Structure 1
């Protein structure tokens, strides 16, 4: 939002407004997100989710198509990065896997979303969910693989560690890109973030309202629903301001959340379906092995991320968001 504001006011004779601080931009975003979060349930945010997904596809496509249509910056190298030891190289690989796992975190909410789909004996909701998850993974791959390949071709070792491809594009090709295109990219990123907030926050709102209805045995009034959204938005704002270094913990968070995708569903299926009691020993062994493999990978990623933080340091800057 801050780069978009600066871009709009850049060179404007009538625009003499000063940019906000980092904490103030966080507050502006939080207020917009809370205002959009007044929908009652997951079913009602289908439009937000679709619009946010389309904006993500749009800006991902733009920031890999535009660099390959221009000359590469001078001094770009595609040689492998030199590491201090084989152990350090292995830790880098594990940390990269943790970031990749975190990139697919959205599908940890499939069980929440599945609860809102109509289901019957002839057409269970798991079929619709399977199609939805398959298509979504395919779309994610169509966005991420070209982005990684084109980004490495265009920038090589010059891609900044903090900011990634988006920062690299504006750093090396911002001067020869039109103002309207840059503004479009920034706007699509903001729309995507606002849509993502709704997608991740609505299950929290649903659970809070469910607890309220269960305790009070009555419908949740509008002012309580608004209070839940205001509380969650305020909590998100506090975390953003208090812990602005959270992106540096991406590998660690990815390792911790890995079982949600690769382990817990396997164990849940064993507990619910009980395949070993129905003569499906092969299915039981497969679920158990995949679940244990997910737990093992999670432990590896967490250890690697913690080791990396111990070596390089976290450089925590509490309550000091970027200006």
Structure 2
């Protein structure tokens, strides 16, 4: 019956659907969803707790003991509130029976349409491309840290162990070219699970080392206003770095671009928006507590000298093997996280190519390649092979030109914060709930959006200023660390 085609297939499918009822299929005919508050919270926490946590001690150091934690709490509150607005827009119309939106861009298309869809797609995919660059930089830093640590100990501290990051970025890029050839996002589940385990591994090690640093110092370092202006930091640098710190904190909380996709795994009833609001509350609370611990203990241990990447601040000292484990965990995590964030972009480009050139074998034809030891042959598509390889090479080359972890992280946080975390959720919620213009609620929502836009602009300016400053002393492909 399944092999029939045309009208008969549709009729059989409809009959089967009516017979099985809600046991196997949802209201739109798709397979039954089973997601809960627990699973959704796990997805969000796994996505959020990543390499961004390593820059939080540096961010708090720029802002100080008063503004640093306050800004982090403020970002958590804004993220939670706008996430609940976005969750309410999962269905167009009624929260239980309205049409489901399976992706962020589809939700924007349903509620806002027009230029907003293109703007959303550009921002979302530009941010994903930027993540690929940032992850390449972060992975190379960790690989160099392991190499330098072992070099230092084997030489007894006599060798300065300077090295160039290019080799390590290229090595990471080669690995990503291989993993990028996995055709479908769903085939990456094992890599995502491994990446999630690794993210918690290095985060907890960083937290533990931070606590140990404070205990070892016997006092809490830092000041109320952050890094002191003096010989090493000018007033202008203090301002720009404070702006950049906002972008770093925003990047650590960025998960709005995948919220709708996570919500699409939640079962109903109850309404998906209710489940997702609870999951968001749990996730933001857990994440904020964890971030506060990592950032604050890092700042308390290092003070004004807090490093841009927390793990690099512990240098080559014992327990160096534990720091090596953490850095290896970062590399493994970033290999998987790179794919998790880039696969949606890969799929989007490939769908567009097939639609534009439907008769092209280069675009759409798949060749079965047998793999020894595997039951299923690998499905080779030449366009996928070429396009994904070019993407990885391009992101690797840009990372080699701009290997500045904090600046790139801050810029990514700035690019994604206002449009994806605030603007689109606010505008879609206004349309969804039909809030009249110039009412108090409408004005408050627009003020929140405007304030977030200002934060995005200053954070982006601070990060760009950081890149310009770094480029004055950095020679691409030459400078060693």
TM-score tier by shorter-chain length is 0.7 to 0.9
- Write the deviation string for residues 120-167 of structure 1: whole angstroms up to 9, x where unpaired: 87466555654554444344324321111211222222323xx43211
Moved more, 22-31 or 136-145: 136-145
Given candidates 283, 299, 310, the residue that maps to 1:165 is 310
CA pair 313-67 structure 1, distance change in 2 beyond 3 A: closer
- Segments of 4+ in structure 1 off by > 6 A? 84-88, 307-310
CA pair 230-206 structure 1, distance change in 2 beyond 3 A: same
- Write the deviation string for residues 252-272 of structure 1: whole angstroms up to 9, x where unpaired: 44333321212232123335x
**Alignment partners' CA distance in 2, 1:83 and 1:19:** 30
| 2:195 pairs with 1:52 | yes
Corresponding residue for 1:150?
297
Aligned-pair distance for 1:26? 1.0
| 2:287 pairs with 1:140 | yes
- Write the deviation string for residues 271-306 of structure 1: whole angstroms up to 9, x where unpaired: 5x26136x9956544433322222232234345555
TM-score by length of 1: 0.76
CA pair 157-288 structure 1, distance change in 2 beyond 3 A: closer
Q: Where in structure 1 are there 5+ consecutive unaligned residues?
A: 13-17
Aligned-pair distance for 1:236? 1.3
Given candidates 256, 263, 267, the residue that maps to 2:427 is 267
Given candidates 206, 222, 230, the residue that maps to 1:78 is 222
Cα pair 1:276 1:284 within 8 Å, conserved: yes
Corresponding residue for 2:250?
101
Given candidates 309, 317, 321, the residue that maps to 2:475 is 317
CA pair 303-196 structure 1, distance change in 2 beyond 3 A: same
**Alignment partners' CA distance in 2, 1:21 and 1:158:** 23
**Alignment partners' CA distance in 2, 1:308 and 1:2:** 22
Matches within 5 A, 1:234-253: 234-245=393-404, 247-253=406-412
Q: Where in structure 2 are there 5+ consecutive unaligned residues?
A: 1-142, 156-160, 367-379
**Alignment partners' CA distance in 2, 1:8 and 1:43:** 37
- Write the deviation string for residues 84-137 of structure 1: whole angstroms up to 9, x where unpaired: 7988755543332122112223433334x358x357874665556545544443
Given candidates 298, 301, 319, the residue that maps to 2:459 is 301
| Aligned-residue RMSD, C-alpha | 3.8
Cα pair 1:73 1:154 within 8 Å, conserved: yes
TM-score by length of 2: 0.54
The alignment partner of 2:435 has SS state of helix
Moved more, 95-104 or 262-271: 262-271
Cα pair 1:76 1:158 within 8 Å, conserved: no
Cα pair 1:213 1:220 within 8 Å, conserved: no
**Alignment partners' CA distance in 1, 2:145 and 2:309:** 16
The alignment partner of 2:247 has SS state of helix
Aligned-pair distance for 1:234? 1.2
